[in-house]
Structure 1
C-alpha cells in the first residue's frame, strides 16, 4: 500500500533524522574533559595565577557552548529565536557589568 498525494502520484515519505545517543555520549565526555582540565589547572600549585584564570575562563566558555548546543538542543534547526534572546540577554548583562565597573572606578 502506497501513500498518494493530492495529484494522484506516490507521496515521498520523509523520515525524521533521529539523533542517536552517540553525540550525547561524545558531548558528555567532552564536558567531563573540560571539567577535569579546569580542576587540574587549579590543582597545579606552581602555575601562574593569571594563566589559571585564563584557562578557567576558556573552559567555562567552552562548557557553556557544549551545554547550550547539545543539552539545550540549540544546535538544531528552529532555535534561532531563543538564541537571539539569549544573545540579547548576554549583551544587556555585559553592558550592566561594564557600566557598574565604570561607575565604581571613575
Structure 2
C-alpha cells in the first residue's frame, strides 16, 4: 500500500471512529443537573419572579446547546448545513413572534 493510500485509509478511520457512551453519559448528567437546578429555583419560591423567568430561559438555552452538541452531534465536523437550517428556523420564529407582538400591541 502506498503512503498516499495509507494516509487516506487512516483519515477515513478517524472520520468514522465511534465515540462510545462516555460523551452521551456526560451530556445526560449535565442535562439532569440543569433540570434539577431549574426545579430547585422554582421550588424555592422566595426568589423574584422576574429573575426566575430569566433564569429559566437561560437554563433552557444552555440545555438546547447541550442537546445539540451531545445528542445530535452538532459539534462534529460536517454538520454545517443542519446548523444553518436550525439558525434560519430560529430567525424565522423570532421574527414571527416579534411581528405578532408588534401587531397586537398597535
CA–CA separation in structure 1 for the residues paired with 2:51 and 2:67: 24
Unaligned runs of 5+ in 1: none
Q: Counting helix residues as a fraction of each chain, which structure ranks higher? A: 2
SS in structure 2 opposite 1:11?
helix
CA–CA separation in structure 2 for the residues paired with 1:71 and 1:21: 11
CA–CA separation in structure 2 for the residues paired with 1:27 and 1:53: 24
Higher RCO (Cα < 8 Å, 6 or more apart): 2
Matched residue count: 101
Structure 1 runs (4+) deviating above 6 angstroms are none
CA–CA separation in structure 2 for the residues paired with 1:63 and 1:71: 11
Unaligned runs of 5+ in 2: none
1:45 matched to which residue of 2?
A: 45
After TM superposition, the score normalised by the length of structure 1 is 0.87
1:76 matched to which residue of 2?
A: 76
1:85 matched to which residue of 2?
A: 85
| 1:104 equivalenced with 2:104 (yes/no) | yes
CA–CA separation in structure 2 for the residues paired with 1:91 and 1:41: 29
Q: Residues 43-102 of structure 1, C-alpha deviation per residue, up to 9 Å, x if partnerless?
A: 011111011101100110000111111111111110000000110010000000000000
Higher Cα radius of gyration: 1
2:6 matched to which residue of 1?
A: 11
After TM superposition, the score normalised by the length of structure 2 is 0.87
